[in-house]
């Protein structure tokens, strides 16, 4: 058991793999064959844009009978990638055995996947296996949007004495339908950075978006929020990938994508002001997105109520209920710095829109 105190995190700028922002981690979702790994690595190395080559060796899959990874055999190929192309290599580890095998093959960086971060028993077992080892570790956010679980996982790794620890934001699973495979919920990593300011923050737009189409937007957003790096899945032949084919891009497409990202330099003194404004604006955009998502959910509830009212023959407008909402909200918001006038304007607009939705439901044949 590790009882040691929490070690200090080494800033990303001091890691040997860091060559400037953004740190680019790329490679296939899964190592499939020697040829696929070596060819993807060859093309990625040739771009000179990739700081760290990734590949999944053991794959956590939602359903059995999907490709669950090539296993230990693939570690030889990664060793070869390192030797032939000079790129450091990263894999996902989920068990102690994975850690020992990875270390045996000289894997430089271990990342802990979302399905492992979520489990404190698994995290502690990994931390125990990592005790006193000099290796870089990235911790992906847990599947569910619970910041303390993410922080707890990071702390367990810190307690094992690991100093080079980063966090990877890959989004959160949700029962609600959304265009993204995993919802970003940007406020959670923003809060993580407030709680652990020295931790490197990497965005994984591949698993967040789940599709090539969202990569640029998500990557740009993360750069505007001043993230330190990107993890983007790349495959020499994405159409025939054995896992995550919709979200993998060719190495040449990775270069195009990186070229299109507008980088605002947070360290430049001249641009300091503009950069902070940009970061704040991104936060505003994020809150606006959330506001409208919440409004959308609210309208859906209103529609369901409309359906009930229709079935029970009740009128749409119930004045008492409306007064109650206004009074309750005004008193709840008294200490939020929002004026009564603003609250009632917003509520009126929301109420009107709700009525419109209910009307539509009630008048449907
Ligand atoms: C991966 O990076 O291939 C992976 C399985 O990611 P996640 O843990 O974010 O689902
Ligand atoms: Mn994947």
Q: Average pLDDT over the chain, rounded to whole? A: 92
pTM of the prediction?
0.79
CA-closest residue to ligand 1 atom 10: 114
The H or E element that residue 28 is part of is: none
Q: Are the C-beta atoms of 126 and 99 separated by less than 8 Å?
A: yes
Mean pLDDT of 318-340: 82
Which ligand has the minimum distance to the alpha carbon of residue 92? 1
For 224-262, the pLDDT digits (tens) are 999 999 999 999 999 999 999 999 999 999 999 999 999
For 91-142, the pLDDT digits (tens) are 999 999 999 999 999 999 999 999 999 999 999 999 999 999 999 999 999 9
Q: Are the C-beta atoms of 167 and 201 separated by less than 8 Å?
A: yes
Q: Are the C-beta atoms of 116 and 122 separated by less than 8 Å?
A: yes
Distance, in Å, from the CA atom of 166 to the CA atom of 340, rounded to the nearest integer, reads 44
Least confident of 157-171, 212-226, 277-291: 277-291
Ligand 1 pocket check: which of 114, 126, 246 to mutate, most ligand atoms within 8 Å of Cβ?
A: 114
Cβ-count burial of 294 within 10 angstroms (0-12 exposed, 13-18 middle, 19+ buried)?
exposed
Query: Is the CB of residue 143 below 6 angstroms from any atom belonging to ligand 1?
Result: no
How distant is the alpha carbon of residue 208 from its chain centre?
6
- Distance between Cα 201 and ligand 1 center (Å): 16
For 182-204, the pLDDT digits (tens) are 999 999 999 999 999 999 999 99
């Amino acid at each position: 058991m590790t009882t040691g105190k929490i070690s200090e995190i080494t800033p990303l700028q001091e890691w040997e793999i860091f060559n400037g922002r953004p740190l680019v981690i790329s490679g296939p979702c899964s190592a499939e064959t020697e040829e696929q790994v070596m060819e993807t690595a060859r093309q990625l190395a040739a771009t000179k844009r990739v700081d760290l080559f990734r590949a999944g060796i053991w794959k956590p899959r939602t359903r059995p009978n999907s490709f669950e990874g090539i296993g230990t055999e693939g570690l030889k190929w990664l060793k070869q990638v390192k030797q032939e192309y000079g790129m450091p290599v990263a894999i996902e580890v989920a068990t102690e055995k994975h850690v020992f095998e990875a270390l045996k093959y000289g894997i430089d960086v271990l990342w802990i996947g979302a399905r492992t971060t979520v489990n404190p028993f698994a995290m502690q077992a990994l931390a125990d296996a990592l005790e006193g080892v000099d290796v870089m570790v990235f911790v992906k956010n847990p599947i569910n949007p619970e910041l303390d679980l993410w922080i707890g996982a990071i702390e367990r790794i810190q307690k094992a004495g690991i100093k080079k620890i980063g966090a990877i934001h890959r989004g959160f699973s949700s029962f609600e339908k959304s265009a993204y495979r995993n919802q970003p919920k940007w406020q959670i990593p923003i809060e993580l950075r407030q709680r652990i300011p020295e931790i490197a923050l990497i965005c994984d737009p591949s698993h967040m978006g789940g599709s090539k189409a969202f990569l640029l937007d998500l990557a740009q957003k993360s750069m505007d929020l001043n993230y330190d790096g990107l993890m983007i899945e790349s495959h020499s032949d994405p159409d025939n990938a054995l896992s995550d084919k919709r979200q993998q891009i060719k190495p040449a497409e990775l270069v195009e994508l990186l070229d299109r990202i507008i980088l605002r330099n947070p360290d430049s003194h001249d641009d300091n002001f503009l950069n902070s404004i940009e970061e704040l604006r991104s936060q505003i955009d994020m809150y606006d997105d959330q506001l409208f998502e919440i409004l959308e959910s609210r309208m859906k509830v209103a529609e369901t109520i409309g359906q009930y009212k229709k079935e029970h023959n009740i009128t749409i407008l119930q004045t008492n209920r409306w007064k109650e909402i206004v009074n309750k909200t005004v008193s709840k918001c008294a200490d939020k710095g929002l004026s009564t006038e603003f609250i009632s304007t917003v509520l009126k607009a929301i109420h009107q829109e709700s009525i419109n939705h209910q009307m539509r439901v009630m008048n449907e044949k």
